[in-house]
């Protein structure tokens, strides 16, 4: 079965998140039936992982971007809203499901993308920011929360640019979640496989 990547969790039905999958994590992705991997890192993907994806029919979708940096950081790097919007389009396309989102540690870029997805789902800012902080921990960045707050969801709801994209329209808004359940653990996700229904 393998072990899950760092910071692995289910975001919603058919959508997972984590840090960068190491070689020891790849069998786990096969176990849960991952069909696509959405990588937010700009660096080239490891050849060994690419070979595993090819042999297991897993598509790699790379929307590489820099993470947000504090204003006093000399790199002056910020995430690109248009790339985030395209990445959300991937998540709304059911033909990519089950899909795994990842950056290096599954905290900042992944956290921002999931936070922007929650805005599309009409989650409250309080719940969205709490989820971000839960994964970022002591390394939470104010600039990330500002990015999520200012993200224009209209850019993510434009007609898809990919010819085979099919927006699902089935991601539920936070207001529809009333039972207080949490997403399944990695063990539960692996046990239920690709057809699992995510609780949130």
Which residue carries 């539960």 as its tokens?
188
User: Tell me, what's the pLDDT at 182?
Assistant: 43
Q: State the total domains in the chain.
A: 1
Q: What is the CATH number of the domain that holds 48?
A: 3.90.190.10
Is 200 part of a structural domain of the chain? Answer: no
3-state secondary structure of 15: strand
Is 160 part of a structural domain of the chain? Answer: no
Residue 79 banded pLDDT, cuts 50, 70, 90: confident
Q: Which letter does DSSP use for residue 167 in this model?
A: B
CB 68 within 8 A of CB 79: yes
Is 186 part of a structural domain of the chain? Answer: no
Is 161 part of a structural domain of the chain? Answer: no
Query: In this predicted model, what pLDDT tens digit does every residue of 81-97 receive, in sequence order?
Result: 889 999 999 999 999 99
Tell me: pLDDT of 194 over 60: no
Is 176 part of a structural domain of the chain? Answer: no
3-state secondary structure of 140: coil
Q: Give 98 or 178, the one with higher predicted confidence.
A: 98
Which residue carries 């991997």 as its tokens?
37
Query: In this predicted model, what pLDDT tens digit does every residue of 128-144 receive, in sequence order?
Result: 999 999 999 888 888 89
3-state secondary structure of 18: strand
Q: Name the pTM for this structure.
A: 0.77
Domain hosting 126: range is 1-66+76-152
* Catalytic annotation, residues: 103
Is 132 part of a structural domain of the chain? Answer: yes
User: Tell me, what's the pLDDT at 48?
Assistant: 95
């Amino acid at each position: 079965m393998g072990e899950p990547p760092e910071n692995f969790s289910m975001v919603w039905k058919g959508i997972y998140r984590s840090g960068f999958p190491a070689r020891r994590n790849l069998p786990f992705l096969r176990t849960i039936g991952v069909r696509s991997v959405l990588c937010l890192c700009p660096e080239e993907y490891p050849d060994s992982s690419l070979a595993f994806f090819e042999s297991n029919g897993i598509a790699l979708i790379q929307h590489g971007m820099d993470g947000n940096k504090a204003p006093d950081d000399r790199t002056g790097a910020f995430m690109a809203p248009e790339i985030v919007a395209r990445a959300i389009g991937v998540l709304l396309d059911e033909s990519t499901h089950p899909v795994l989102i990842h950056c290096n540690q599954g905290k900042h870029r992944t956290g921002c993308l999931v936070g922007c997805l929650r805005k599309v789902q009409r989650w409250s800012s309080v719940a969205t920011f709490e989820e971000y902080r839960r994964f970022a921990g002591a390394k939470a960045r104010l600039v990330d929360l500002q990015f999520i707050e200012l993200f224009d969801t209209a850019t993510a709801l434009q007609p898809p640019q990919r010819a085979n994209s099919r927006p699902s329209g089935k991601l539920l808004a936070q207001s529809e979640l009333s039972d207080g359940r949490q997403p399944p653990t990695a063990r539960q996700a692996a046990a239920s496989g690709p057809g699992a229904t995510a609780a949130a």
